[in-house]
Every structure is written in C-alpha cells, then in structure tokens.
Amino acid sequence: MIKDILTSLRAIIAGYFFDVIGILMVRILLSFTPLKEVYIVSLLTSCLFNFVGGYVAASVSRKYRFINSAIVGFIHIFWALYMAGYSESFHLIVVQILAIPFALLGGVLCIRKNPVVRESEQI
C-alpha cells in the first residue's frame, strides 16, 4: 500500500516537472523572438507539455495511471493560475479547460503503448 502511494507520488512529481520545465524552457527560448506574446504558441506549448507530463506520470507508475495523469493536469491548473497572476482573460480559461484532458490523453497513449502485464499473465 505504501509502496503504491510512493510510486504514485514519484510519478506525479516526475510528470509535473516534465510539464513545468518544458514550458519554462520553451518560453525562455521564445523570449528572444517575436513569438513570445503570441497566444496560440503559448496555448500549444502548454497543451503539448501537459500531454508529455501526463504520459510521463502514467509511464512511471504501474497502477493508477489515469489518476496520476489527471493529477498532473490538475496541478498544471494551479501552476497556470499562479503564473498568470491576477489577469482575467479568456486565454487563461482555455488553458484551464484543456489541462486535464490533455494530461489524460497522454496517459491513454502510454497505456496503449505499454499495457500492464500482471504476474498471473506472465509466461
């Protein structure tokens, strides 16, 4: 039981760090270009790395893959709210709506590529 919790916690932290570090690296690289203020680039970057974070969280854990991916998306919502400050805009709402579905989509892709083989099913 404790081993499953620690594995899930490790998976969530790994997925979250891939999500946040990827977004920050792309924003740093784009800060020298005119694309730094383009909303669609920010939205695509956020969705892409949210997908990667959900994929990583699902691949690290053997159990509870959907839950771990969804938690990565949920944490991304709070991180995006923190980074946006107090700005009220439609763009921030779109990122919040797409966070959990893209993280879950990453988890679904991971499950399709690496299905769990139980000990009783091994040859």
Give residue 35's region: left, alpha or beta (phi > 0; psi -120 to 50): alpha
For residue 121, what pLDDT is reported? 43
In this prediction, residues 99-113 reach a mean pLDDT of: 88
From CA 15, how far away is CA 103, in angstroms rounded? 9
In this prediction, residues 61-90 reach a mean pLDDT of: 80
Centre a 10 Å sphere on the Cβ of residue 89 and count the other Cβ atoms it contains: 10
Q: Please provide the average confidence, as pLDDT, over all residues in the chain.
A: 82
pLDDT at 116 over 70: no
Note the helical H segments in 85-113. Answer: 90-113
Q: Are 82 and 31 in contact (CB under 8 A)?
A: no
